[in-house]
A = this chain, B = another copy of it.
Amino acid sequence: MTNKVTNKLNAIFYPKSIAIIGASRKPGSVGQSLLANLIDSRFQGIVYPVNPHAKGIIGIKCYNSLMDIPDEVDLAVLIVPSKFVHDALEECGKKNVKGAIIISAGFKEIGGKGIELEEKVKQVIQKHGISLVGPNCLGVINTDPASSMNATFGTKMSKEGNIAFISQSGALCVAVLDYAKEANIGFSKFISMGNKAGLTENELLLYLKNDPKTDVILMYLEDLVNGREFMKIARETTSSFSCPKPIIALKAGRTILGAKAASSHTGSLAGSDSVYDAIFSQCGVIRGETLEELFDYVKAFSSQPLPEGKNVAIITNSGGPGILATDSCIRHGLNIAPFNPGTVKTLKTVLPPTASLNNPVDLIAEAQHEHYEATLHAILKDKNVHSTIIILTPTAFTDVEKISKTIVRKAKEFKKPVLCCLLGVYDVSVGIEILEENGIPDYRFPESAARALSEMAWYTEWLKRPQTGIKKFSVNKAKARKIIDSVKKEGRHFLLEEESYEVLRAYHFPVIKSLLAENENQAEEAAQKIGFPVVLKIASPDVLHKFDFGGVKLNLRNKNEVRKAYQEILKNVLAKKPEAKITGMLVEEMASPGKEIILGMNRDPQFGPILMFGLGGIYVEALEDVTFRLAPIRELTATKMITSTKTYKILEGFRGEPAYDIKVIAECLKRLSQLVTDFEDIKELDINPLFVYEKGKGCTIVDARIILGSE
């Protein structure tokens, strides 16, 4: 499949010939800018402008129509008004054009008629098997000298580099090219996706995954066309054994997907954006919150080796900025590396007496390039140090040029990431230039360097993570199927508690002992079988929220209490809902209380089953401290769901509390993943609470609810 995509997309990125349908004689117009950009970028193929009213444009022979071009055309760029686009594409089909870029706007984004036009476009490209970028986009750039193609109407060509950029906003592309020029960043491929009527982020990602010119992939997204496919491709890209490529994504806007599900408890927490957080974290995509972060990260990833761990050394020639860098590193989860004693000893011999020899190392204002050199050498050699942030404040004594050259030399000698922060603008400009020319990222403020480094350390962790699979438990699927089918047959959309329990038991969840009793005698009998004390709960297809109906009695210690409770519950429920059909009562063992956990699942119309984990209790709800992941989950993911909540430390044995049995929670999550993957008709599932006990002592489900899909 990969090769197929590569072959198909080569028509976009490496065409031997391009027809510009809608090339224009009018200077400054899109139709002329694009043609000029192709020529100016020294495109390695041949360009054929098409315009029925022109003989030639900027000195290049023009054709009346696509059909008039005597040679083969690999790629067509369309700049004609939207209503003519599908006819033009039909011609492309006839001429066996393999790729197309529709620059023109006036499609889906304007609604109404535009939507129809876009549908037509889709039909035509499908019919002819044309790979399409757009419509409503800026175009495509390929800086590979083998192609050297600037098929955009922007004002800038990118310099060659190892970063690919995919953007769902054309306007942003213009700005990004501008920033990139200032930051001296080069791109390998640069794609404005537009409305994504043909190629989407998924095919493009798959292409870039195998593009030898691309090392880092940058994405600006407003939505995902197919989240599950994205996850698969992205995961392969970020964790490829031979050639992993980091993906850095900025996802703007908030989905409305979660809103629909907000009716259930789980759903109300599974708001929109957290689904994207889940997706990105499950496939190793680094998520930037702002445009600025995107640039900060990509500068480091595209130029520096990955750090082996989180230990950073800070070298500075001024106290204040050194403290700021330290603060930032800690805030972003990095460690201030403890130096090897030998390193400190070496520093003592090479630095002035007032220098601070421990991390952060303050070389003091008088520091010369020799001091930077000796310090860098000692520190980069230290095995406790995984990366370095170097701060340089221009003082009266500072030779910025010499120090910058020293940094470049030392960074090349040791294969550890070196990030710089030359404070200021004009006073350090010569240094910044030297660093950038030699691929050492420079940041305006120490905070930005720390943040970028922290993402690199995170990515190292991702690459080193133990490779786990999706655990397949041996379960009684047929039994669960039977229960669910019988509920559907009755026309119900939710399972009675006992039915939910039975489904969970079929998947070997640790459900509390329970028996259904149809009358008081049976209840008494059941209680004796289970052992006192017990709980009584109403069993009725007409009562969903048992507690609100007075349908639950806890801690019943003998037969009499059971009988009494039976009557009371009956009275309570019938008082509230006289017409309620009552199946009986569920007699449950009274579980010894454990730490309350909530597990849940919600099926999103686009993304499918989304699992939720959270500690129970109103605080966790108020703080929305829950994690989400798309099922099925891998073994490691189950653990990560638990450990990545803020309240996780409570489960580890916080302040005299015991350590809880985290392993069994993870197992429940994995079983849940299997269950909801097996049964697409389960729309919602809540296990609330699951009581978890001390390490090694397991857990028990004491309430559960399953809701089926209406379709």
* Chain A residues near B (Cβ < 8 Å): 28-30, 33, 105, 109-110, 153, 155-156, 167-172, 174-175, 178-179, 181-182, 220, 222, 250, 252-254, 289-292, 317-321, 323-324, 326-328, 331, 354, 365, 393-396, 423-428, 444-448, 615, 617-623, 625, 646-647, 649-650, 654-655, 657
Chain B contacts for A167, CB-based, 8 A: 320
Q: Is the CB of A396 within 8 A of B318?
A: no
Q: Are A321 and B622 in contact (CB under 8 A)?
A: no
Which of B171, B250, B423, B448 contacts A175 (CB under 8 A)? Answer: B423
**Alpha-carbon distance A522/B498, docked complex (angstroms):** 54
What distance in Å separates the Cβ of A287 from its nearest Cβ neighbour in chain B?
Answer: 12
CA distance A155 to B428 in the complex (A): 12
Which residue of the partner chain, among B174, B328, B365, B647, contacts A622 with CB atoms under 8 Å?
A: B647
- Which residues from chain B contact A321 at a C-beta distance below 8 Å? 169, 171-172, 175
Residues of B within 8 A of A448 (CB): 292
Cβ B354 vs Cβ A446 within 8 A: no
Give the 3 A-B residue pairs with the shortest CB-CB distance, closest first.
Answer: A169-B320, A171-B318, A178-B424
**Which residues in B have their C-beta under 8 angstroms from that of A290?**
324, 328, 445, 447
| Contact flag A447-B647 (CB < 8 Å), given A30-B396, A622-B654 | no
Which one of B169, B181, B323, B621 contacts A318 once the chains associate, using CB atoms below 8 Å? Answer: B169
Residues of B within 8 A of A319 (CB): 109, 169, 171, 222
Chain B residue nearest in CB terms to A331: B289
**Total copies of this chain within the assembly:** 2
Task: Other than A172-B423, A252-B320, A615-B619, give 5 A-B pairs with Cβ distance below 8 A.
Answer: A105-B365, A174-B427, A178-B425, A179-B425, A181-B426
Q: How far is the CA of A649 from the CA of B427 in the complex (A)?
A: 50
* Most chain B Cβ neighbours within 10 Å, of A28, A156, A445: A445
Complex Cα distance, B28 from A327, in Å, reads 34
In the complex the two chains form, what is the Cα distance from A328 to B254 in whole Å?
Answer: 12
Q: In the complex, are the beta carbons of A647 and B621 less than 8 A apart? A: no
Query: Can you give 16 A-B contacts (C-beta < 8 A)?
Result: A105-B365, A153-B396, A156-B426, A169-B320, A172-B321, A172-B393, A172-B423, A179-B424, A182-B426, A222-B320, A252-B327, A291-B445, A291-B447, A292-B447, A617-B617, A618-B654
Contact B179 A650, beta carbon cutoff 8 Å: no
Which among A153, A156, A328, A423 has the highest number of chain B CB atoms within 10 Å? A423
CA distance A650 to B624 in the complex (A): 12
Q: Is B323 touching A252 in the complex (CB atoms < 8 A)?
A: yes
A620 proximity list for chain B (CB < 8 A): 619
Least Cβ distance of A274 to chain B in Å? 14
Q: In angstroms, how far is the closest chain B Cβ from the Cβ of A203?
A: 21
Q: Are B395 and A320 in contact (CB under 8 A)?
A: no
- Of B156, B252, B446, the contact of A324 (CB 8 Å cutoff): B252
Cβ–Cβ contact B291 & A446, under 8 A:
yes
A354 surroundings in chain B (CB, below 8 A): 109-110
- Contact check, A618 vs B650: say whether CB atoms are below 8 A apart: yes
User: Would you give the shortest CB distance from A59 to chain B, in whole angstroms?
Assistant: 22
Residues of B with C-beta under 8 A to A447: 289-292
> Which of B155, B172, B446, B618 is in CB contact (< 8 Å) with A427?
B155
Q: Is B323's CB under 8 angstroms from A222's CB?
A: yes
Cβ contacts under 8 Å, A428 to chain B: 178
